[in-house]
Amino acid sequence: HPAAAFDGTSYMIAWSEDRHVYARRLRGAATFASDVLALSSEGVAAAAPKIAATDRGFAVMYGEGDDLRRRLILTLIGPGTSLERSTISELRLATHALGWNGSELVALWSGGDQISAARIASTGVLLDREPIRVGFGDILGAPSMACEAGQCITSWSTWKRGVEIATIVGDHAFTYT
């Protein structure tokens, strides 16, 4: 599944192809502003990119590993083509989402029977020592997220309770069912 974001000046698209994740910057209607950037590690399967515009460029998050969900990787793309990679989670992951709340990135993922989140500075520094527990139980669907002004609203599906919603503010999550 491809992903796209706009930072007010340019667009960034990210996609997976042949077990690798790539990105490319565009200006305006299909005018390429950069070469294709290979984001994932050579020889390691990667898929499912999510992208967010930040105050320093773009952030692309994707699953990387033998089963495509072993590690959650964040790659920061600066104004040029500079790339900085960091690992967000080493857990066995199923699905994930990424958002920018105006001051920090928020990574959201499902793993096993819970939904977790972590805040990340636009420099790639992980701000939470432990993941924020957002939801738990019989997780069915991929989490989604929308962010603005210091908070994110998240939602996901469960087998028994239907759709659940949580708000992430700082290092706390408030769940509504």
More confident residue, 103 or 112: 103
Per-residue model confidence as pLDDT tens digits over 119-165: 999 888 889 888 898 988 777 777 899 999 999 999 988 888 788 88
What are the structure tokens assigned to 83, written together? Answer: 């790339």
| Rounded Cα gap, residues 58 and 51, in angstroms | 7
Could you give the C-alpha distances from 49 to 2, 128, 177, in angstroms and in order? 7, 22, 28
Q: Is the pLDDT of residue 111 over 60?
A: yes
Picking from 101, 72, 78, 95, the residue whose alpha carbon sits closest to that of residue 23 is 78
pLDDT for res 3: 94
Picking from 78, 97, 67, the residue whose alpha carbon sits closest to that of residue 166 is 97
Q: Is the pLDDT of residue 14 over 60?
A: yes
Q: Is the pLDDT of residue 40 over 60?
A: yes
Are 92 and 79 in contact, with CB atoms under 8 Å apart? Answer: no
Picking from 68, 35, 148, the residue whose alpha carbon sits closest to that of residue 101 is 148
